[in-house]
């Protein structure tokens, strides 16, 4: 494979591409153009538009893609890999294609597995970050938290993804603030570390989420949480419930700077030891690892 | 008070009024005209329009109103009663008014209290049904479940409302089906008792709701829950988590026939003994009890 290549993270709401030289980032493109913005399955045209400048300058570079672009709603429905998965297996499960401008491309598979409580689980995109974690921090075992719309908690053992769980934390937050009684008639929200801490504290009460959520309403009615801090109280409840599921071993938190900081604050309140890593850095490191196994696959 | 009177249940989305003769229902009016449909605070005009036929025939009858009509967003913001509340205290907390057509009216207060886990709680409307329960089934103690958008669980002891909790079960169901990934691209939903039972079973796994919810997605992807049964699986998860909070004593379930049947099926699967009562019947019985204490309050 040439020393220059492209890494693409193509999700439901965002498109992100990196021009790479070996393991180094040369340039990056961000576009709010996820799968939902692609009409009539015109993925190749959309991609060509997004990276037109790179095609003009570098011609046909090898292209690695991951995320929901490999799902039923994406470019190609690439079957999930199942079991304890590592970089090599992800490479072997990749769907190879050739673009009309002559690039050799691969769409990487997601991973299907089971959570610790035995429910089926799937992910597409986060597995790349986990492979990146294994490369960046070689150790026998890791616990990782990947916060987001659908937060993932994963156990990595012996350089492979073992079990993982999904928490719909981010989506619940958005839904409840935008469409429920809890978010109605609120002023612009402000960071409120007191409200956030109170939410984390209440997340430990012996009550299910559907009950705890009503306290967002009653504490607001009583003035115990200011109107501008309702969002942070709700965030504390949701992130608190999520993190209380973690075993008490050290955890990596792998996401954006803002989410990492929020999760680390919550983890610290719960006595959980964490170290933050950039989600972008892990993604790139993961793609670079997988690239090494793709050399012969066309 | 005259033998004829009116009972009104005026909530956020619905208006319901009963023409009463002593404890008996003579006639009933239903209108999808809750507080949200009343413009510019014109509650008296809206009421006059809804019950125009009764005013024409019976002139100025005494009028008892309960529900969100007594809230900040309602006709008059009637302060909550606090503590262990009975029919007499609700009557004493009523806001008296005279309508322009000469009726003596009362808007009943809601109840503020605390749940068993110590979080503040409020209700407006359900307290009337609980007073009705005390009248219909005299006993020292009751556990009652009032299913709905915001389900209430209440303990009634010595003819007074003791503690109560709210579960946002109905609102979460609506939100998730209408606005989340879980409800996307679904055909019309069908009753599916197998999916409902599976949801109730999974609600007992050692995972918070935000995690269990993702199984709505994965079980659908795997074909373990049919597309037309996704709603019932989600309903099972939510109602199951709610009912698993109940102590193992017998419970009354007080709601509509459809919700009562759904909750009784779930309760039965969880080994919880329940008896169903019509929410409407309890409301009327409660209003009739409170009426007896309103005689001298103008």
Question: To the nearest whole angstrom, how far is the Cα of A178 from the nearest Cα of chain B?
Answer: 10
Q: Do B175 and A171 touch (CB under 8 A)?
A: no
Contacts of A206 in chain B (CB under 8 A): 117
Distance (Å, whole) CA B254 – CA B232: 21
Phi, psi values for residue A33, rounded to 5°: -125, 70
Residues B158, B161, B165, B171: what is their CA dihedral angle, to the nearest 10 degrees?
Answer: 130
Contacts of A119 in chain B (CB under 8 A): 202, 205, 207, 211-212, 214-215, 218-219
Residues 6+ apart with CB under 8 A from A214: B119, B121, B150, B165, B166, B167, B168
Q: Do B119 and A165 touch (CB under 8 A)?
A: no
Touching check for B214 and chain A: CB below 8 Å? yes
pLDDT given at position B297: 59
Residue A44 scores a pLDDT above 60? yes
Task: Give the ipTM of the model, two decimals please.
Answer: 0.94
pLDDT given at position B298: 54
Contacts of A213 in chain B (CB under 8 A): 168, 172
Beta bridge partners of A29: A17
Closest CA to B225 of B246, B198, B186, B256: B198
Contact B61, B102 (CB under 8 A): no
pLDDT given at position B2: 67
Q: Do A208 and B167 touch (CB under 8 A)?
A: yes
Contact A149, A242 (CB under 8 A): no
Q: Tell the residue number behind the tokens 């019509």, with chain if given.
A: B278
Q: What is the mean pLDDT of residues A12-29?
A: 95
Lowest mean pLDDT among A15-19, A285-289, B23-27, B134-138: B134-138
Indicate the length of chain A as a whole number.
Answer: 298
Residue A295 scores a pLDDT above 80? no
User: Smallest Cβ distance to B222: which of A120, A165, A242?
Assistant: A120
pLDDT tens sequence for chain B (298 residues): 568 999 999 998 899 999 999 999 999 999 999 988 999 999 999 999 999 999 999 999 999 999 999 998 899 999 999 989 999 999 999 999 999 999 999 999 999 999 999 999 999 999 999 999 999 998 889 999 999 999 999 999 999 999 999 999 999 999 999 999 999 999 999 999 999 999 999 999 999 999 999 999 999 999 999 999 999 999 999 999 999 999 999 999 999 999 999 999 999 999 999 999 999 999 999 999 999 999 765 5
pLDDT given at position A54: 97
pLDDT given at position A2: 67
User: Smallest Cβ distance to A119: which of B205, B244, B245?
Assistant: B205
Contacts of B179 in chain A (CB under 8 A): 175, 178-179
Contact A94, A295 (CB under 8 A): no
Question: To the nearest whole angstrom, how far is the Cα of A165 from the nearest Cα of chain B?
Answer: 7
Instruction: Give the chain B residue nearest A238 (alpha carbons).
Output: B210
pLDDT given at position B237: 98
Instruction: Give the chain B residue nearest A119 (alpha carbons).
Output: B215
Residues 6+ apart with CB under 8 A from B52: none
Contacts of B218 in chain A (CB under 8 A): 119-122
Q: Do B168 and A119 touch (CB under 8 A)?
A: no
Query: What is the pairing mode between strands B111-114 and B120-123?
Result: antiparallel
Contact B129, B84 (CB under 8 A): no
Token pair listed for B76: 């008059």
pLDDT given at position A1: 56
Distance (Å, whole) CA B39 – CA A196: 36
Question: To the nearest whole angstrom, how far is the Cα of B14 from the nearest Cα of chain A?
Answer: 16
pLDDT given at position B36: 86
| pLDDT band, residue A257 (cuts 50/70/90) | very high
Closest CA to B256 of B165, B151, B111, B115: B151
Question: To the nearest whole angstrom, how far is the Cα of A59 from the nearest Cα of chain B?
Answer: 38
Touching check for A238 and chain B: CB below 8 Å? yes
């Amino acid at each position: 494979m040439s020393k220059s290549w492209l890494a693409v993270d193509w999700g439901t709401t965002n498109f992100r591409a990196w021009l790479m030289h070996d393991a180094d980032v040369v340039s990056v493109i961000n576009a709010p153009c996820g799968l939902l913005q692609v009409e009539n399955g015109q993925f190749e045209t959309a991609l060509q538009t997004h990276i037109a400048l790179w095609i003009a300058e570098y011609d046909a570079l090898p292209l690695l893609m991951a995320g929901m672009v490999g799902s039923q709603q994406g470019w190609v429905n690439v079957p999930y890999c199942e079991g304890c998965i590592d970089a090599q297996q992800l490479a072997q499960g990749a769907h190879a294609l050739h673009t009309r401008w002559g690039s050799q491309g691969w769409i990487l598979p997601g991973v299907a597995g089971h959570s610790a409580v035995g429910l089926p689980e799937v992910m597409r995109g986060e597995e790349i970050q986990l492979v990146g974690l294994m490369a960046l921090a070689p150790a026998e075992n890791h616990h990782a938290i990947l916060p987001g719309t659908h937060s993932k908690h994963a156990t990595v053992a012996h350089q492979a993804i073992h079990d993982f769980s999904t928490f719909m934390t981010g989506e619940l937050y958005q839904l409840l603030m935008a469409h429920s009684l809890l978010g109605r008639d609120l002023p612009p929200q402000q960071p409120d570390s007191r409200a956030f801490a109170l939410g984390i504290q209440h997340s430990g009460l012996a009550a299910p989420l559907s009950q705890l959520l009503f306290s967002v309403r009653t504490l607001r009615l009583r003035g115990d949480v200011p109107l501008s801090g309702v969002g942070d109280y709700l965030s504390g409840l949701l992130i608190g419930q999520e993190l209380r599921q973690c075993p008490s071993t050290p955890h990596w938190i792998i996401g954006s700077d803002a989410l990492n900081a929020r999760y680390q604050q919550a983890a610290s309140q719960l006595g959980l030891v964490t170290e933050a890593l950039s989600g972008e850095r892990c993604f790139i490191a993961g793609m670079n690892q997988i690239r090494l196994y793709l050399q012969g696959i066309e």
